[in-house]
Amino acid sequence: MTSKTVATRPFDGQKPGTSGLRKKVGVFQQPHYLANFVQSIFDALGGVVGRTLVLGGDGRFYNREAVQIILKMAAANGVARVLVGQGGVLSTPAASCVIRKHRASGGIVLSASHNPGGPDGDFGIKYNIDNGGPAPEKVTEAIYARTREITEYRIADVPDLELDIIGSRTFAGMQVDVIDPVADYAELMQSLFDFGAIRAWFAAGHRMCFDAMHAVSGPYAVRLLEQILHAPRGTVINGTPLPDFGGGHPDPNPAYATELIARMQGDDAPDLGAASDGDADRNMIVGRGLVVSPSDSLAILAANADRIPAYAGGLKGVARSMPTSCAVDAVARQLGIPVYETPTGWKFFGNLLDAGRVTLCGEESYGTGSDHVREKDGVWAVLFWLNLLAVTGKSASDIVTEHWQRFGRHYYSRHDFEGIATERADALMAALRARLADLPGQTLQGQRVVHADDFAYTDPIDGSVSGKQGVRVVFEGGSRVVYRLSGTGTEGATLRVYLERYEADPARHALPTQDALADLIAISRGLADIAGHTGLTEPTVVT
């Protein structure tokens, strides 16, 4: 094998965020930029000689080029075997599934998730460990430390590998298995859900619409829904993955999945609507004329898990990220199981899942998942809902409203203020933090503050501490306003304001969400002086 050692110098800013390193495509296209980061991963792991790795991405612009570079570097660094998805493609949950099933020592996932793609869009890379989940902070910190001192990387000097033909081959002295990106994942899904019941539901004439948003969930949804479950052709819309997602924003929320939302209005709307993001780990569930809030979806899955084959034995516990609403807490109380509150970022669920403390977890950012893999899983969530509809015979809207009657409703919304200069966003958060100690006991617009803090998390398994994870202000009755800065953006800063209000009275469950939260919205703007710090009087995105 011919490989070479290339001299290089550190790039600034190769610090992984909430979910890996994300930058504009142009940044990644700079000579050595990707290679530096990949070598830093290998070095931070103490070398990768003899290891088996999984490799794939969401198919966005630069995915193919990046896969070739990584394969050549893996070979030059002594990796024994790489399992790579055909065409360089693997959804994030499928990568997690493949790592676990084939007992790989880890994997590299190429994605910027829900961020737009294309030559002017975003690209991303992250490392997943042997449990199939995102590397914990101590690993990402070691990778970052390495990026700051790197002086050289190793890469095989060979032509590109043929990526489109499934099969095993030798590449620069390393075994590469080009695998069907869907097969292992589809097999896992069939072991979890009642495919017979779902097939019968479709056969009885029920319909659903799955919006793949021209992202990587397309092939997974087509295989599972249309081919294996015999849903009518056309059930999956925008099902062909495109390197720029058709110019769209592949984020499954009401603001971006507009085609789906339009289809779910009216009397002839399908029974269930769903959408997934760039790398297929997020999901949005839509009933007729009703968008299910992700926090509610998690609570509903938890409350009904005993109807699903894989979870019929009961849940060990549940977990949610701190800004996610407390709807699942109400379910956990009734089930008598623990609920864990973690910082934002799926990686924080890994230890809890590995230790068998929790079975289901979820986040307000349209992420839901279980212990079947170590990533959130969009298609899994859709199959869970389908299974639920099939065995209950109920509509999605009925399931939601009955859930509220039983547990009360947690009105919930997130207001994002995007494109803020980083210093201004930091100043806003600093000013907020400075006020925290004085807030308890104060009354804001008629609401008394009972608790205010900057969320810190001590991992119950390994004792690691993560501080400054978001400012939360809790009012009497459990209403909350939470502020944090996004860790996934690539341009400036995004302030996220999370608003939540609990309503026990079923007579007050049908209010428009923004109306139900109006007082909290006003408090949130004033308390942080959002307009003063950012110049923005209204959020740029409301979900």
C-beta separation of 450 from 439 below 8 A: no
From 154-162, 207-215, 223-231, 486-494, give the range in contact with ligand G6P by CB under 6 A: 486-494
Among 113, 253, 344, 534, binds Zn ion (CB under 5 A): 113
Reading the block at residue 330, the tokens are 């109400």
Residue 43 binds Zn ion (CB under 5 A): no
Residue 111 binds ligand G6P (CB under 6 A): no
Out of ligand G6P, Zn ion, none, what residue 251 binds, judged by CB under 5 to 8 A for its kind, is none
CB nearer ligand G6P, residue 193 or residue 346: 346
Long-range CB contacts for residues 199-203, cutoff 8 Å, separation at least 24:
199/229, 199/230, 200/390, 201/386, 201/389, 201/390, 202/229, 202/230, 202/231, 202/232, 203/230
From the list 107, 80, 74, the residue with the least C-alpha distance to 3 is 74
CB nearer Zn ion, residue 77 or residue 276: 276
Identify the DSSP state of 407.
H
Residue 496 binds ligand G6P (CB under 6 A): yes
* Residue in 113, 293, 321, 486 annotated catalytic: 113
What is the distance between the terminal CA atoms of the chain, rounded to a whole angstrom? 52
Chain-centroid distance of CA 359 in Å reads 17
Closest approach of Zn ion to the CB of residue 482, in Å: 21
C-beta separation of 160 from 55 below 8 A: no
CB nearer Zn ion, residue 136 or residue 367: 367
Reading the block at residue 100, the tokens are 């676990």
Angle at 430 between CA 429 and CA 433, to 5 degrees: 85
CB nearer Zn ion, residue 60 or residue 288: 60
Site string for ligand G6P, 5-44 (x = CB under 6 A): -------------xx-------------------------
Residue 113: active-site member: yes
Out of Zn ion, ligand G6P, none, what residue 279 binds, judged by CB under 5 to 8 A for its kind, is Zn ion
Reading the block at residue 306, the tokens are 């005993």
Whole-Å CA distances, 67 to 117, 255, 523? 16, 32, 48
From the list 540, 529, 454, 537, the residue with the least C-alpha distance to 491 is 540
From 22-30, 259-267, 283-291, 360-368, give the range in contact with ligand G6P by CB under 6 A: 360-368
Site string for Zn ion, 259-298 (x = CB under 5 A): ------------------x-x-xx----------------
Out of ligand G6P, Zn ion, none, what residue 346 binds, judged by CB under 5 to 8 A for its kind, is ligand G6P
Closest approach of ligand G6P to the CB of residue 344, in Å: 5
Lateral strand order in the sheet of 443-444: 443-444, 447-454, 471-475, 480-485, 493-503, 409-420, 541-542
Out of Zn ion, ligand G6P, none, what residue 470 binds, judged by CB under 5 to 8 A for its kind, is none
**Active site members:** 113
Which parts of this chain interact with ligand G6P (CB under 6 A)? 18-19, 113, 344-346, 363, 365, 367, 486-488, 496
Which parts of this chain interact with Zn ion (CB under 5 A)? 113, 277, 279, 281-282
